[in-house]
Amino acid sequence: MQGRNRLDSTPGTPGAVSADSAATALRKGRPQLSRLDSLSVHMDISEIMEYLYLGAKTVSQDGDALADMGIRHIVNCTVEEPNHFEARGVKYLRVAVEDSPDADIANFLEPAHLFIESARKEDAKVLVHCTMGMSRSSTIVLAHLMYDGMRLKDAMTLAKAKRSMVSPNSTFMAQLLELETKLFGSQSIDLGLYKKSRFDEVTSFAC
C-alpha cells in the first residue's frame, strides 16, 4: 500500500515542516530550520529517537545528506535497493524481505535490534529504511523499541507521532505481537482491530 511520498511535509504531523511554511518563515525573518528539518522538507526521513531515523529509500541514496546528519549505519529493509555507500565506510545490515502477506520478518528482528544497539553504543546514528518507510522499516523500529523495554502500543504511539504513516502490514504486526508476548507475557494491540484500522490512531486498535 502506498503512502505519502514526503511525510515530513504532511500538514498536522508533529514536528513536520512543509516547504511553504519554511519559505514563509524565512521571509518573515524567523530563525532558520534545523539541519534535520531542512532535509525533511526535501527528503522522506523522520527522527524517532536521537540516534534512530526512519525513512524511505530516497534518503538512503543521498550520501551527502547521510554524512551531514551523521548517519553511518543503515538497516536496508528491501530486497532490491543497493547498499550504496559501503565503499565510504557506511555499515549496513540487509533485511531482505518483501512487503507481502506471506513474508516472514521475525528472524530479522533481533539481529536488527543488535545492529542498532551496537551503533548506539558507539554514539552513532542509524537509518532504517524500506521503500516508503511505512511497513518493513517501521516493523524493525518497533521491534527495537520493544527490545528496549517499550510495549508495542506505546512504541506505535511514539513512532506514529514522529511519522504518521507508520503501519506494518498485518502479517508483520502479528509477528510483532508474538515478540511482545515473548518479551512481556501479553499483547497490547488487538490484531483483529488493527487489520480494520491500521492507519488510524493507536487507541482504535489498542487492547
Written as one letter, the residue type at 6 is R
Catalytic residues: 130
The CATH-assigned architecture of domain 31-204 is Alpha-Beta Complex (3.90)
Could you tell me the residue ranges of all domains in the chain? 31-204
* CB-count burial class (<10 Å; 0-12, 13-18, 19+) for 185: exposed
What pLDDT tens digit does each residue of the chain (207 aa) get? Answer: 333 333 233 333 443 333 333 333 333 443 343 455 545 444 589 999 999 999 999 999 999 999 999 999 999 999 999 999 999 999 999 999 999 999 999 999 999 999 999 999 999 999 999 999 999 999 999 999 999 999 999 999 999 999 999 999 999 999 999 999 999 999 999 999 999 999 999 999 999
**All cell numbers assigned to 16:** 513536520
Cα distances from 50 to residues 54, 83, 173, in angstroms, run 11, 23, 25
Written as one letter, the residue type at 123 is D
Q: What does pTM read for this prediction?
A: 0.81
